[in-house]
Amino acid sequence: MWQGLNTHEVKVTVTNEHGLHARPVTEFVQLANRFQSKVEVVKGDLTVDGKSVAAMLTLGAGPGTVLRIRARGTDAAQAVKKLVALISSSFAQG
């Protein structure tokens, strides 16, 4: 756990039909990589690098899973906001 002014963390529930499989994870990671901040995704006591497809896939986050999206850095607030929006929209933009 890290603390600091520029750390943001928000809870979100995975809603899309098949959970975080290859395609949503790809989109998530592509988006995460647009931010300077370090991004981490937490499921229970498992924390993974949100900018790594391989790591994100190992979360095995099926529909209904509650995740915490955490970012630290200059654009942390923006990063968390966008990433959470992506998950809650069930990756609607395709």
Contact between 63 and 19 (Cβ < 8 Å) = yes
Give the binding range for another protein (CB under 8 A) out of 8-16, 25-33, 35-43, 74-82. 25-33
Asked if 13 is part of the footprint of another protein (rule: CB under 8 A), the reply reads no
Catalytic residue among 16, 21, 47, 49: 21
Between 3 and 41, name the residue whose CB sits nearer to another protein: 41
Between CA 36 and CA 72 the distance in angstroms is: 9
Q: Which of 40, 50, 33 is nearest to 2 (CA)?
A: 40
First to last CA, the chain: 33
- Residue 4 has a CB neighbour count (10 Å cut-off) of 8
The residue to which tokens 């690098």 are assigned? 49
User: Least distance in Å: CB of 81 to another protein?
Assistant: 22
Window 57-76: residues binding another protein (CB under 8 A):
57-58, 60, 62
> Catalytic residue positions?
21
Give the binding site for another protein (CB under 8 A).
Answer: 18-19, 21-23, 25-26, 29-30, 49, 51-55, 57-58, 60, 62, 94
